[in-house]
Structure 1
Amino acid sequence: MSSSSSDEVDEYLEEMVDEVVDNFIDSVVDGQANNPKKRAYIERNQERGHNQLLTDYFNENPTYPSEMFRRRFRMNKSLFLRIVDRLSTEVPYFQQRKNAHGRFGLSALQKCTAAIRMLAYGQSGDTYDKYLRLGE
Structure 2
Amino acid sequence: MGRHLFLHIVDALSNHDPYFQQRVDALGRKGLSPIQKCNAVMRMLAYEVSANVVHDYVRISESTAVECLKRFVTNVIVIFEGEYLRKSNSNDIHRLLEMGEARGFQGIDFPKCGKGCS
TM band (smaller chain): 0.3 to 0.5
Indicate the structure whose relative CO is greater, using CA pairs within 8 Å and at least 6 residues apart: 1
Larger helix proportion of the pair: 1
* TM-score, structure 1 as length reference: 0.42
User: Which is greater in Rg?
Assistant: 1
